[in-house]
Structure 1
Amino acid sequence: MPIIEIENLTHTYMKGTPMEHVALKGAGMFVEEGECIAIIGHTGSGKSTLIQHFNGLIRPESGRVIIDGEDLSKKRVDLKSLRRKVGLVFQNPEDQIFEKLIGDDISYGPFKLGLPLKEVRERVKWAMETVGLDFKEMKDRQTFALSGGQKRKVALAGILALKPKILVLDEPTAGLDPRSRNDLLDKIKFLNKEEKLTVVFVSHNMEEVAYLADRIYVMAGGKDVLTGTPKEIFTDKDKLERYQIGTPETVQALYRLTDLGFDVNTAAFTISEASEEILKVLSGNKGVQHG
């Protein structure tokens, strides 16, 4: 059984008012345990509304949301238990950081679970070091003085300290400088591949989608319109154009070379693979002759 299963999900904001807006119109998806899934699509396609169903922030209006075998359409859902399983990190870390000191903020959730002090400390230390925050140096530092990248790490550590089974991220690297972005992406990949944490993330950045995702869901008009691996999505030029899907810069460069008449493999979307294709063109080993 998939760890996340969504069937024909609908949601309407401000229903019955002049401001009524249908955000989801029969969306569906499934996520296997241990997968890393990217959800992409234009603003207003329903991505953020969809992921807020995963931990019960929004309850199903119609359709089914099943998380780790639990049907969230049932009235007596244990939301506390659910939110220990599903950790949701919002796009703006300020929405999740409310304590003055880093250590206090990250330990808040474990203390609420009623864990003994020793275990809370162990969890906080593990979570901080997992996201790249030195425990001794940073635990007593004030949260208001942190950079944007550090605040994202603190918000992520606060969720990880709860030891969730599923990590859900909304635009995890938005607004970060390249170094902070790459560092955070490496941490997410480590959590997924080494810690075996199931990861679902929303992103507009196709480079990070190509780097992290095992599979991609493309959303448009409140429903899923396309799904596949990064290679399947990014090499289907017709569907890229039909759904106006952005592509990693590597893919853009390779398609530009094919338009110029060079025989390159457009499925080579990782930086190392694309570099090899471009080097072959530059060396003249894989070009076409122009008359």
Structure 2
Amino acid sequence: MTSKPILEIKDLHHTYMEKTPMEHQALTGVNMAIQEGECVAIIGHTGSGKSTLIQHFNGLLRPQKGKVVINGQDMSEPKIDIRKVRRKVGIVFQNPEDQIFEQLIGDDIAFGPLKMGLPIEEVRDRVKWAMEIVGLSFEELKDRLTYALSGGQKRKVALAGVLALRPKVLVLDEPTAGLDPRSRIELLSQIQLLNKKENMTVVFVSHNMEEVAYLSDRVFVMAEGKTVLDGSPKEIFSNQNVLEQHNIGTPETVEILSGLKKEGYSVDLSAYEVKNAAAEIISILQSGKGGESIGRT
């Protein structure tokens, strides 16, 4: 890609409680460039700086040192219109309750567009579109009380509230944490739809490597406050030495293939997708270790 990144980070540093006994350096020189339309995962062990980093993506935190450029706007500029930036970059945090303000679902999702001063007809259209995108029936649920929702439904409402702003970039912090398997699959499908069909740039933080393998076009690995590796999921999950060094897991498919390789079987560790991993295992069952068949006779 030759176009300018929609989001660019250069040598970003951030220190909490600077010049106090509680000083903690969370970011120590992050570099990152994300192109429009990409779906990017950020992974790393707890404390690697992921959550601090994404708070710079829409101005919740401002650069102490280094540069953050969002959709061509330098976040270090003192006169930057931060509200305008936040309409372009929407963040859904891990705890959806923190982003729900109103008693009724429809009112909560309409909160942002109303603050933008949009006509009521457009606000209604945006709320309906956002609810349908995340799998919530507009007619059935717009007047339902938010406090009575399940965790999965609250996450969908929080996501719809951000989508109603029509952001160019959607940032998600552990999007499926605490969800049951059905809700998790539904949400992953919705995220993929937004990225592929709506051409929305998606950046998500996750500890779930299966989700990373399923969704992402590119992966950034963080450790000790900086990026230590980036590439396609195939490139990242093939680099087990670096992942193990920083206490980062791999998808179960890669773990299975790695176990087979340690037993002496010839396998392709980059076959992380389920169908490809299955083909590798079938091949082993048919040929066996050292060429002897271990399949059915």
TM-score after normalising by structure 2: 0.95
Task: Using the TM superposition, give the Cα deviation of residue 244 of structure 1 relative to its aligned residue in structure 2, in angstroms.
Answer: 2.6
Distance 1:121 1:152 in 2: 20
- Give the match for residue 288 of structure 1: 290
2-side partners of 1:127 and 1:285: how far apart?
Answer: 51
What SS does the aligned partner of 2:27 have?
Answer: strand
1:87 aligns with one of 81, 87, 90:
90
Compute the RMSD of aligned alpha carbons: 1.1
TM superposition shift of 1:264: 2.0
Give the drift of 1:31. Answer: 0.2
1:162 to 162, 165, 171: 165
In the alignment, is the contact (CA less than 8 A) between 2:90 and 2:167 conserved in 1? yes
The CA deviation string for residues 203-228 of structure 1, in whole angstroms up to 9 with x for no partner, is 11100000111111111111111111
Question: What SS does the corresponding residue of 2:284 show, helix, strand or coil?
Answer: helix
Mapping of residues 115-194 of structure 1, within 5 Å? 115-194=118-197
* Equivalence for 2:19: 16
Secondary structure, aligned partner of 1:27? strand
- Residue 265 of structure 1 aligns to a residue whose secondary structure is coil
Displacement, 1:286? 5.9
| Conserved? CA contact 2:55–2:61, under 8 Å | yes
Matched with 2:295 is none
Q: Does 1:203 align with 2:221?
A: no
Contact 1:263 / 1:286 at 8 angstroms: preserved in 2?
Answer: no
For 2:234, the equivalent position in structure 1 comes to: 231
The answer for unaligned runs of 5 or more in structure 1 is none
State the Cα distance separating 1:146 from its structure 2 match. Answer: 0.8
Other structure's SS at 1:140 match: coil
Question: Match for residue 96 of structure 1?
Answer: 99
What does 1:49-128 correspond to in 2, within 5 Å?
49-128=52-131
Q: Which digits, 9 at most, give the CA deviation of each residue in 1:139-174, with x for residues without a partner?
A: 111111111111110000000000000000011011
Shift of 1:26: 0.8
Q: How far does the alpha carbon of each residue in 1:250-291 deviate from its partner, in whole angstroms, 9 at most, with x for none?
A: 111111111122222211111121122222223x2364347x
**Structure 2 runs not aligned, ≥5 long:** 293-297
* Deviation of 1:57 (Å): 0.3
Which amino acid is the alignment partner of residue 256 of structure 2? A
Tell me which amino acid in the other structure corresponds to 1:272.
K
Secondary structure at the counterpart of residue 287 of structure 2: coil
TM-score with structure 1 setting the length: 0.97
CA distance in 2, matches of 1:209, 1:287: 31
- 2:246 maps to 243
**8 Å contact 2:220–2:229 — kept in the other structure?**
yes
1:240, distance to aligned residue in structure 2 (A): 2.5
CA contact (8 A) 1:213 1:230 kept: yes
C-alpha distance in 2 between matches for 1:155 and 1:288:
54
- The structure 1 residue matched to 2:215, chosen from 199, 212, 233, is 212
In 1, are the aligned partners of 2:45 and 2:246 still within 8 Å (CA)? Answer: no
Q: Secondary structure at the match of 1:288?
A: helix
Structure 2 distance, partners of 1:212, 1:286, is 33
Partners in 1 of 2:55 and 2:85 — Cα distance? 12
